[in-house]
Copies of this chain bind each other. A is one copy, B any other.
């Protein structure tokens, strides 16, 4: 079964009507976030690679067509038109890893209107998912101020696919590893893992479990110390390390209690035992607020494992993304629904230093000192270049992060920069609204 039915029924209804009426004029759809969620000062663009893969491969297979003609009741005219349909349009998009703001198009599709409409559900879903996750993870990166971060979210993401997206997007914003083995394989990331409380409990004593782990575990060994009594656990680990002198980088993991205080006591115990190279790893329901507090307090923690609240972007689990028809044939279009008026026409964002952006009509000349944010990534249904890599996306994120205004980067009550419209875009919006209001 193909992926063409990964869509809302109304997309098929509309597309069938367009195809039947031979409405084939080029349409431009613009995908953007209407408003940032409370608590977000910026977003990190992500999800484009998966979207391009979807567009390249789009087709209805025989099983899809049978379902459309059978249970869904589409007639032969519609089914025949769907059979031949491929995506032959152009796509402009913001490259993955770049920092963006509300109202800025993340992606624009120009294609015969039926094609553009059929892509809506998947494109919205994917861009929303990855941009939501990348933006949450970026806040952890800022809070960690250079400490290592590891993705620990797999067990409570919204499915396996979402877990892969967390691993991918955390890598874009600079996490050093993931606990997710499949994601590590798929994206070439470092897999990281320690032990669970169950491992300790399966042995007759904690010390016995530490000995077994020191002997059996390949590579980096991080001992979980809080199963019964954290300080006692740290002392026992120190003893086992001194006795067995295991290979590979070594660490302890704190997963409950007062992490700052336990990290200090742990550092002290380890240092006194001559184990100053043993690192301290913290986990246990952490989010960017906890990380910030621990770093601020000077807790001697070397790395943080970040799980559930990152993995579902708990404080802002979705974005107010839309995929709007902004031009059809020769006309710029818009809707006038209360609170949902959108600017018409294909757009571009011109960016100056300090992420100083202006929202413009696509074909305006580039103002001096600015560069265009949206790039042509697909022409006539084919990518304009090879797939982007995570390294490239990460480099783009690092560059934009270093240029992000402090007010937007702030963890609490951030203030995103204003993104003004160019004169031409304002004039187009005004003219379109007046035409539609008649």
Contacts and interface: CB of A to CB of B under 8 A. Distances in A.
Interface of A: 1, 5-14, 16-18, 20-21, 23, 27, 29, 67, 71-75, 113, 117, 120-122, 124-126, 128-129, 132, 152, 154-163, 165, 179-182, 184-185, 191-202, 212-213, 216-219, 226-230, 255-257, 308-309, 311-314, 317-319, 321, 323-325, 328, 333-340, 436-437
Contacts of A18: 202
B125 A156 contact: yes
A159 B8 contact: no
B312 A317 contact: yes
A157 B16 contact: no
30 contacts: A1-B182, A5-B182, A8-B193, A9-B181, A9-B184, A10-B193, A11-B196, A14-B195, A14-B196, A17-B216, A23-B202, A27-B202, A71-B184, A74-B218, A75-B218, A113-B202, A121-B155, A129-B157, A158-B159, A159-B159, A161-B161, A200-B335, A202-B325, A202-B328, A202-B333, A228-B436, A229-B336, A257-B338, A312-B312, A314-B317
Nearest to A202: B328
Given A159-B162, A193-B13, A336-B228, A5 B181 contact: yes
A181 B156 CA distance: 26
B181 A12 contact: yes
Contacts of A121: 154-155
A312 B318 contact: yes
A302 B63 CA distance: 34
Contacts of A158: 129, 132, 157-159, 161-162, 165, 312, 317
Contact of A165 (B27, B159, B180, B325): B159
A84 B193 CA distance: 23
Given A193-B13, A256-B340, A318 B328 contact: no
A429 to B, nearest CB: 14
Contact of A73 (B5, B219, B319): B219
B218 A73 contact: yes
A10 B198 CA distance: 11
Contact of A157 (B117, B125, B328): B125
A28 to B, nearest CB: 11
Q: Which among A7, A128, A165, A199 has the highest number of chain B CB atoms within 10 Å?
A: A199
B155 A125 contact: yes
Contacts of A163: 6, 125
Nearest to A213: B17
B157 A193 contact: no
Q: Which among A14, A217, A328 has the highest number of chain B CB atoms within 10 Å?
A: A14
Contacts of A213: 17
B226 A159 contact: no
A170 to B, nearest CB: 14
A1 B186 CA distance: 10
A141 B18 CA distance: 36
A128 B113 contact: no
Contact of A179 (B9, B193, B318, B339): B9
A71 B201 CA distance: 29
